[in-house]
């Protein structure tokens, strides 16, 4: 055991720059921050008074409920209208395929009619 004087009260204390003291200081700071966060999540009487004065009355809630119902019915009407206006890729490709064959058959019928008309005239 090293010799120390009676006035030396800090020889067993860790150095301020040691890694353990830095880790302990960091842990203590995190603990202090956690406690402050927990305290900030509690509502004070003033906060509760502000919240209580900002509540809507039953009449205001009824008006808002009516507006929400109107918006919901408008949305349903729009969705019902929009269902028939959109098509998937397969529906579109089937429609293009059918139109292509309709146009081709119309062209063949038109050309054969013109050929027959020219031949028999």
Overall domain count for the chain: 3
Please check the confidence at residue 9 and state whether its pLDDT lies above 80: no
Does residue 44 sit in the same domain as residue 23?
yes
Residue 15 near residue 21 (C-beta atoms within 8 A):
yes
pLDDT tens digit sequence for 25-35? 888 888 777 77
Does residue 74 sit in the same domain as residue 92?
no
Does 69 map to a domain?
yes
Does 64 map to a domain?
yes
Residue 56 near residue 64 (C-beta atoms within 8 A):
yes
User: What range defines the domain where residue 68 resides?
Assistant: 56-86
Residue 44 near residue 52 (C-beta atoms within 8 A):
no
Does 12 map to a domain?
no
The pTM of this model reads 0.31
Residue 11 near residue 4 (C-beta atoms within 8 A):
yes
pLDDT tens digit sequence for 42-98? 666 666 666 666 666 677 777 777 888 888 888 888 777 766 667 788 888 999 999
Phi, psi values for residue 19, rounded to 5°: -65, -35
Does 95 map to a domain?
yes
Does residue 117 sit in the same domain as residue 98?
yes
């Amino acid at each position: 055991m090293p010799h120390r004087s009676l006035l030396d009260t800090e020889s067993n204390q860790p150095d301020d720059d040691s890694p353990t003291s830095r880790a302990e200081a960091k842990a203590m700071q995190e603990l202090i921050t956690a406690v402050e966060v927990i305290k900030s999540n509690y509502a004070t009487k003033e906060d509760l008074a502000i919240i209580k004065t900002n509540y809507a009355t039953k009449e205001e809630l009824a008006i808002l409920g009516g507006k929400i119902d109107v918006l919901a019915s408008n949305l349903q009407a729009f969705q019902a209208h929009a269902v028939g206006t959109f098509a998937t890729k397969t529906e579109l490709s089937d429609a293009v395929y059918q139109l292509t064959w309709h146009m081709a058959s119309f062209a063949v019928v038109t050309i054969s009619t013109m050929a027959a008309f020219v031949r028999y005239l």
